[in-house]
Chain A
């Protein structure tokens, strides 16, 4: 017998979170406050994402967790085991088989379907926070759509670096209304935010939930003369040879050698199983 209620949280809490999720879906990009619970993990490890997942899971779901694209890092393994134990749901590493995917800082390379839900772990949900520390003021700015300040940040980037150097957590405008922080995903993933699946964002410490319904218009902010660019390392994956995936740079020794590998481990594995080979595939251990 399982001593936990299904998916750890009690039913009243899940109900409260579901109400927040529904509101978030009704007002795309708006940060809905919710009564975030203490979870058996430290803040910063995905307490927001876990609560959203817990409220979304049903016994028939197939659950997948990725951390920076990988299925096998501490954070991903722990959260997967947590729900295996408390909800008894099936888990998978294959993006295509999962119905709910909790993610930290990446969107899977494979195109998601309408019957899937992507749950993000969010550290700081407020895109204006580092420019305007007062919550009362940022709320007012959202309600009055005063978003000039967001461009001040991009202006500073260009004046200091000659280009928009913000590479992750790149601010977006949702459905021509709210400016939203897409969580610290690389800006390479920003164009993928317009997708068929439901996207839910949970910030546990900051007690906010926000959402993108399927096919919502998401525009990355930019200047007319410095347009948005979804950038990645200018290489092919050394294991699977993919040229269209987001890459991690791995230093392999202290002689300056390095390799580039897909950050999405499932995508890389499935490509290698299909016979694709990168430059270092023979000696590759990953």
Chain B
């Protein structure tokens, strides 16, 4: 079986400082990978390198495209990479405002990716927008409202709908539950878990919240100072942490 994504020796430096170094892993179709670590550990840098927002200084990000098989996205032409970003890839920002067009209605937000890949039938676009609003548990009557009129949790769900509408195969998520209160977080996680299983999505989730990876991720990577210090099955890493930093991380979680 070909991995959906093969990451080989990714390195990113900011001058003399290290963003992340020597990160390698494979991600198979349908698998959810969690990346945890404290602030400044390089997890966001890594994610941005993977998705092409930052150019890594070394390494390869090989994605198994539908048309041409495995291709290194770092050296791929920009139009192709942006096309990938609109079709097979999705990126969920921590702050929904970064991922949404706040001056465009919810329906327009969901429809944008469809129109970007050539859909030109209003009725069909609107139909899909309504369908996706339902799937992320937003009332259909809100389709013409702007996201600025939505609560934080709804904005985040709308952002997810907007990203998933073109049926991507790989979703990158940067702290998808950050800044939401716990009950809204729980609903969002529930929704995400359902969508991931139902659509057979592969996902890479960056977070500092261990509960999120416990619930969503099959595998886990722990990062510290730009390097991966421990990797393995989620339950294994969380229940039997080997590295001193992972032990600290797991024991720092407040028990209620």
Interface residues of A (CB under 8 A from B): 131, 144, 146, 148-149, 151-152, 155-156, 158-160, 222-226
Of B78, B115, B143, which contacts A159 at CB under 8 A? B143
* Segment at the interface with A among B122-130, B210-218, B247-255: B122-130
Given contacts A155-B111, A224-B121, A224-B122, 20 further A-B pairs with CB under 8 A are A131-B101, A144-B79, A146-B82, A146-B116, A148-B112, A148-B113, A148-B116, A149-B115, A152-B108, A152-B115, A155-B122, A156-B104, A156-B105, A156-B108, A158-B122, A159-B105, A160-B105, A222-B120, A223-B121, A224-B120
A residues less than 8 Å from B78 (CB atoms): 144
B226 at the interface (CB under 8 A from A): no
A residues less than 8 Å from B113 (CB atoms): 148
B144 (CB) vs chain A CBs: closest residue: A159
Max chain A Cβ within 10 angstroms of own Cβ: one of B78, B113, B122, B123:
B122
B residues less than 8 Å from A225 (CB atoms): 121-123
9 A-B contacts, Cβ less than 8 Å apart?
Answer: A131-B101, A148-B86, A149-B116, A152-B111, A152-B112, A152-B115, A159-B105, A223-B121, A225-B121
B107 at the interface (CB under 8 A from A): yes
A151 touches B79 (CB 8 A): no
B residues less than 8 Å from A156 (CB atoms): 104-105, 108
A residues less than 8 Å from B121 (CB atoms): 223-225
B115 touches A151 (CB 8 A): yes
B116 touches A144 (CB 8 A): no
B76 at the interface (CB under 8 A from A): no
Of B79, B86, B115, which contacts A155 at CB under 8 A? B115
B117 at the interface (CB under 8 A from A): yes
Query: In the bound complex, what is the Cα–Cα distance between A158 and B104 (angstroms)?
Result: 13
Of A148, A155, A223, which contacts B117 at CB under 8 A? A148
Query: In the bound complex, what is the Cα–Cα distance between A225 and B79 (angstroms)?
Result: 29
B114 (CB) vs chain A CBs: closest residue: A148
Max chain A Cβ within 10 angstroms of own Cβ: one of B78, B115, B121, B123:
B115
A151 (CB) vs chain B CBs: closest residue: B115
Query: In the bound complex, what is the Cα–Cα distance between A146 and B101 (angstroms)?
Result: 16
B123 touches A159 (CB 8 A): no
* Interface residue range, chain B: 20 to 34
A223 touches B116 (CB 8 A): no
A152 touches B104 (CB 8 A): yes
Q: In residues 71-116 of chain B, which contact A (Cβ within 8 Å)? A: 78-79, 82, 86, 101, 104-105, 107-108, 111-113, 115-116
A residues less than 8 Å from B122 (CB atoms): 155, 158, 223-226
B120 touches A144 (CB 8 A): no
B residues less than 8 Å from A149 (CB atoms): 112, 115-116
A160 touches B120 (CB 8 A): no
Query: In the bound complex, what is the Cα–Cα distance between A156 and B108 (angstroms)?
Result: 6
How far in angstroms is the closest Cβ of chain A from B107?
Answer: 6
Query: In the bound complex, what is the Cα–Cα distance between A144 and B120 (angstroms)?
Result: 19
- Known interface pairs A223-B122, A225-B123. Does A159 touch B112 (Cβ–Cβ under 8 Å)? no
- Known interface pairs A146-B116, A159-B144, A160-B144. Does A152 touch B101 (Cβ–Cβ under 8 Å)? yes
B residues less than 8 Å from A155 (CB atoms): 107-108, 111, 115, 122, 125-126
Query: In the bound complex, what is the Cα–Cα distance between A130 and B118 (angstroms)?
Result: 21
B residues less than 8 Å from A131 (CB atoms): 101, 104
A145 (CB) vs chain B CBs: closest residue: B79
B residues less than 8 Å from A159 (CB atoms): 105, 107-108, 126, 143-144
How far in angstroms is the closest Cβ of chain B from A227?
Answer: 10
Query: In the bound complex, what is the Cα–Cα distance between A155 and B116 (angstroms)?
Result: 12
